[in-house]
Structure 1
Amino acid sequence: MQRLRFVDLWKRQPEILDEPIEAPIIIVGLPRSGTTFLQQLLAADERLRPIPFWENLAPLPAHDPAIRPPEDAPLIAQAEANVEGLRRTAPGLLALHQLGAEDPEEEIYLLGPAFATTVYEWVYMVPGFASWFAKADHRAGYRFFRQVLQTLQWMRGGRRRFLLKAPQHMEQLVPLLEAFPDAVVVETVRDPLTAASSLANLCCYGQRLRTERPDPLAAGVASEAIVSRLVQSYIRDRDLPFVDARFVTVPFADLMREPVALAERVLTAARLDLTDETRAEMQRYLDANEGKERAPVDYGPADFGIDIPRLRDRFQGYYARFGLSPDPKFAA
């Protein structure tokens, strides 16, 4: 239905597709590599426009979207109800991933109307969809996604630079950069084994929404396949000549140690100065989150049947590309 509403709006308001999308900042990186933290830190800069959770879930208002400005309050209230529902049914999920109705969120739901999202694979573990998604050409889907962003900008105004992020972009660099040829791509880097076990844990939480008996081993098989595909696709495409000059590398350890300095590096690459106001807002965000309770990481690859030596060998190109040493806590 959402796709049909977008297409109908574009037919009635063709000027939407002339909206400029200027040099978005797009964060790509494996799960648990700091993508959420970095996006929320950069969102302190008012010149940037992230996609909040509510807008991901319901980008179009209930009324005719051609009527501006849209009535967003009901959409925000519905997202708040969704978050509260998760808090009751899957509190551990919210402890793993900070989520609020108005918090910046990855655009996996906005990619849904284009059938270019990994939600059905990563969260719901639909094998048939996973097989199709891995083989499909998603260039049309990413072009559709660009048009969705043009629509959000047309409806809500502002023309700020979009601040996007999604791990799935790692395996879609070519479609991503064809859709956004002037993008600044920020790559967060961490041992992929951290991502594999974290994603398996997420898959288990997704199973808990549908069954009382999640299957950790099935989640491990799925996460191995997903992370391997992300890493191998990324290494394959990362050094293509037309993408090389637009990347900013952010090692996870450096981001945790000097977050504002790393954020400034990203802004500099995007030809933006770190203003005193933005620096102060970033520090307020850090202070507000300091000491905030986080879910303890009490799981590891072995809990999901993940074969550490096999993945170590599979990820050698990634380790070499970014000068990473395998995390010693994942001893074979």
Structure 2
Amino acid sequence: MTTQEAVRSDHLLTPEAMLAASTSRTGLSDFGSSSFREGLDLLLSDIRALDLGPAYVRASAWRIGQSLDTRALAVQGLKARPELLSRPIREPVIIAGLVRSGTTALHLLMSLDPQFQGPEHWLTVYPMPRPPRETWDAIVQYQSEKATMEAFLATSPEAADDHMMTAEGIEESLFILGSSFSSNMWPSMWQVPQYDRWYRGRDDTDSYRWLADVLRLIGAGDERRWLLKNPTDLFSLHEVLNVFPDAKVIQTHRDPVDSMPSVSNLIFSARRAFCGDKAGRADVGRREAELWADALERAEAVRAKSDNAFVDVEFGDFTRDQMGVIRSIYDQFDLTLAPETEAAMQAWLDAHPRRTSKGPKHVPEDFGLTRQGLEEKFAAYRKRRGYM
């Protein structure tokens, strides 16, 4: 890379250039409260310090720029419908748990229940009041995200296998939280130490207020209960309940010693897409183990003081009897599971049989970890859950 190319690439990742590029794409210059700038500025500063090659700079600028566009579109939508800001979000059901503990499959299954609404993926990118489903094929924004998603899945088929991502499918809250620029999404994609310290040390209530407002926009006119999912809600459970005080929470569980190598591989794959050979396996392993050990203890402390309704789901129980676990959740939350909904869930399970493997694809040592080290780091949680 020449000096001229480096300067030009570096300029793409300044806050001024990013905001100007977003305005050029959307025609919008109002990004709402300036509170997002602290996180954006720290994030971009850390990424510039990585000295990425031009292709990875462009990829990074595209990904961060997409969230800036999302933010501007949401601000525009909420300005047009200010009455939505006072609309209550009552008793959302929130799925949170260690990554790779069954959150995705559980979320997808429960999203088949018509008593719930959730944020569809394309609407987390292009937030607007949810149009009637039969009109989506004619909507430019849906067409655009569907094409983007199909191109991504063509190059990353493991994402389709692991997350069953589609433009029209239900999406986790992480994408909307990303447009607050205080989100675990960003240190998952790049090694950004200043940003990570800032994010993990702050009160994140404002980010969840942003999430709630964007949900109000997407769900305008829809009175159904929200079904949400975000593993990182464990880390910010105090803030989640500040914003959704009557939430009902499903916490999924799995022995971290078994799941951490898989979690680390997932994050490493994301980092490699944006950083190339600057992505480090040991850096990912260390960061993920620290974050999730902290998240599990923070969540436990919040739960000990909370009057909210919680249901615990063991990964092993869920993989053995998905519908049995679903029925238990509905019983404990006093929800109605209609026969036609149960049939739809079973049909989905029949169409998506769980893959079995002869052994783990990844081991702790792949990411600079050891089994003993993970046992020690997660000792308190493993003892509570009976994994020791």
TM-score class, shorter-chain normalisation, is 0.7 to 0.9
Q: d(CA) in 2 for partners of 1:129 and 1:95?
A: 31
CA distance in 2, matches of 1:135, 1:295: 40
How many Å apart are 1:204 and its aligned residue? 1.7
Which of the numbers 107, 110, 129 marks the counterpart of 1:39?
A: 107
Aligned residue in 2 for 1:183: 247
State the distance in 1 between where 2:145 and 2:263 align: 23
Shift of 1:3: 3.0
Are the structure 2 counterparts of residues 212 and 191 from structure 1 closer, same or farther at C-alpha, using a change threshold of 3 Å?
same
Q: Which has the larger displacement, 79-88 or 287-296?
A: 287-296
What corresponds to 1:254 in structure 2? 317
Whole-angstrom distance in 2 between the partners of 1:131 and 1:287: 44
**Aligned twin of 1:330:** none
Could you tell me whether the CA contact under 8 Å between 2:189 and 2:267 is conserved in 1?
yes
How far off its partner does 1:294 sit? 8.8
Greater Cα shift, 36-45 or 111-120 = 111-120
- Match of 1:250, SS state, is strand
TM-score (norm 1): 0.87
Q: Secondary structure at the match of 2:94?
A: strand
What is the CA-CA distance between 1:28 and the residue it aligns to?
0.5
- Helix, strand or coil at the partner of 1:109: helix
The alpha-carbon deviation at position 176 of structure 1 amounts to 0.5
CA contact under 8 A between 1:93 and 1:202: conserved in structure 2?
Answer: no
Separation of aligned partners in 1, 2:311 and 2:217: 28
State the match for 1:238 in structure 2. 303
Matched with 1:85 is: 151
Q: Are the aligned partners of 1:301 and 1:307 in contact in 2 as well (CA < 8 Å)? A: yes
- 1:44-123 equivalent positions in 2, closer than 5 A: 44-60=112-128, 72=136, 73-123=139-189
Partners in 2 of 1:68 and 1:290 — Cα distance?
32
- Paired with 2:125 and 2:72, the residues of 1 have a C-alpha distance of 16
Q: How does 1:222-301 map to 2 (within 5 A)?
A: 222-240=287-305, 243-290=306-353, 297-301=360-364
SS at match of 1:266: helix
Aligned-partner Cα distance in 2 for 1:296–1:15: 53
Highest RCO, 1 vs 2 (Cα 8 Å, sep ≥ 6): 1
2:369 corresponds in structure 1 to: 306
Is 1:2–2:70 an aligned residue pair?
Answer: yes
AA of the residue aligned to 1:205? S
Task: Please identify which structure carries the higher helix content.
Answer: 2
Shift of 1:253: 1.0
- Inter-partner Cα distance in structure 2 for 1:56 and 1:97: 16
After TM superposition, the structure 1 = structure 2 runs for residues 161-240 of structure 1, keeping only pairs within 5 Å, are 161-213=225-277, 214-240=279-305
Structure 2: 5+ residue stretches without partners: 1-68
- Aligned match of 2:33: none
Cα distance in 2 between the residues matched to 1:74 and 1:293: 39
Contact residue 216 and residue 303 of structure 1 kept, 8 A? yes
Identity %: 30
Tell me if the contact between 2:189 and 2:274 (Cα under 8 Å) persists in the aligned partners: no
Distance verdict in 2 for CA 1:232–1:106, change over 3 Å: same
Q: Please say if 1:19 is aligned against 2:87.
A: yes
SS of 1:162's partner is: strand
* TM-score scaled by length of structure 2: 0.75
**Do the aligned residues in 2 keep the contact of 1:184 with 1:270 (CA within 8 Å)?**
yes
Distance (whole Å) between structure 2 residues aligned to residue 309 and residue 87 of structure 1: 36
Partner of 2:257, secondary structure, is helix
Cα distance in 2, alignment partners of residues 293 and 55 from structure 1:
33
The CA distance in 2 between the partners of 1:133 and 1:50, in whole Å, is 26
Maintained 8 Å contact 2:119/2:218: no
**How many residues are matched?**
316
User: Where in structure 1 are there 5+ consecutive unaligned residues?
Assistant: 327-332
Q: Which moved more, 1:93-102 or 1:127-136?
A: 93-102
Q: Letter of the aligned partner of 2:201 in structure 1?
A: K
- RMSD, matched Cα: 2.5
